[in-house]
Amino acid sequence: MPEREVVLGIESSCDEMAAAVVRRGREIVASVVRGQAEVHGPYGGVVPELASRAHVRTVSAVVKAALTEAELTVEHLHAVAVTAGPGLVGSLLVGLSFGKALAYRLGIPVVGVHHVMGHLAAAELADDRLRPPYLGLAVSGAHTALYRLRVDAAPLLLGQTRDDAVGEAFDKVAKLLGLSYPGGPAVAAAAVAGNPRAVAFPRPMASADGLDFSFSGLKTAVALEVERRGRGSPLSPGTVSDLAASFEAAAVDVLVARARTAMAQEQQTRLAVVGGVAANTQLRQRMAAAADQDGFEVVFPPPALCTDNAAMIAAAGFALLARGERHGLGLNAFSRVPIDAPPWMSSASS
């Protein structure tokens, strides 16, 4: 399928602007990610307007950098795949507009990709043997959900967070503890020196019926403990480490427990854990131990493919192109969109 061999992926759903070149849906030729930690760090979280404005300034340079790294020009591209949702609409529109304009100029197809489908594709990039059926656990700043990946059908949602995503909880806890943004790596780093049993934080919904998640109560429990221990004064480094370790242990316990329940209920043998939080060392170790004990296989993408990147978007886009999908210049951005029925899929054009 030479017309789909080299795909440019563009990802701009939040505060990373990324571009990548992927060949035949499996070979990452180049991948460039430009983050905005210095922009959002003072606020302890992503400011949507600042994110989109920064994307406008960098999108062209990031795409050019990816092509330069790949030693290719735009004329070598056969298609463009771009994130169309979910995400911050302003951020999405920057990457989407650039991708559509480039595809129009070159006369090549453009396809919209669901952001979580991109993360799931990252697992298949990491392990060439991974093919549906399997279960996917998406854990990031915006998503915490379990899916059943099916052959020739859209993923089936099995359960999702009822409030905060686990990555959002990490960011909020980091802010409570006076740690830097992004919160996931900061909490994990502080937790290394802490005692995960120092505080018995709750494990919300870890053993509840169904496969949903909840992290709002855990975040609140940390806030109350910070208030109780600090009483208006800065926390000691040891206290920060203990609270970080205790929170991390609780969050990981919930994710592992829900995944084990899902694997048993769905009678599956393979699990892909994807998204930014999938880079967490404790989660990787605990999930691997659970997989060994329960007899299932777990796949984690390498850390560079866990956080938002465009290689995963190009890989997911290649799969859409192989199925005959083509999305025209009317392709739009969506802040919320179901994984099983993105609106742009129903209006695909050839």
Three-state secondary-structure class, residue 159 = strand
Confidence of residue 4 (pLDDT cuts 50, 70, 90): low
Residues 151 and 252 in one domain: yes
Residues 315 and 298 in one domain: no
The residue assigned the tokens 């379990």 is 146
Residues 12 and 150 in one domain: no
DSSP string of 88-138, one letter each residue: -HHHHHHHHHHHHHHHHHHT--EEEEEHHHHHHHHHHHH-TT--SSEEEEE
Single-letter code of the amino acid located at 348: A
**158: enclosing H helix or E strand:** strand 153-160
Rounded (5°) CA angle 288-162-182: 60
Query: Which domain, by its residues, includes 94?
Result: 2-120+308-346
Q: How far apart are CA 187 and CA 166, in angstroms?
A: 12
Q: Does the pLDDT value for residue 67 go beyond 50?
A: yes
Residues 163 and 218 in one domain: yes
Residues 201 and 276 in one domain: yes
Would you state the torsion angle of the CA atoms of residues 57, 60, 64, 65, taken in this order, to the nearest 10 degrees? 30
pLDDT digits (tens, 9 = 90+) for 74-130: 999 999 999 999 999 999 999 999 999 999 999 999 999 999 999 999 999 999 899
Summary mean pLDDT of the chain = 94
Question: Per-residue b/e over 220-255, b at no fewer than 16 CB within 10 Å?
Answer: ebbeebbeeeeeeeebeeebbbbbbbbbbbbbbbbb
Residues 115 and 255 in one domain: no
DSSP state, residue 151: T
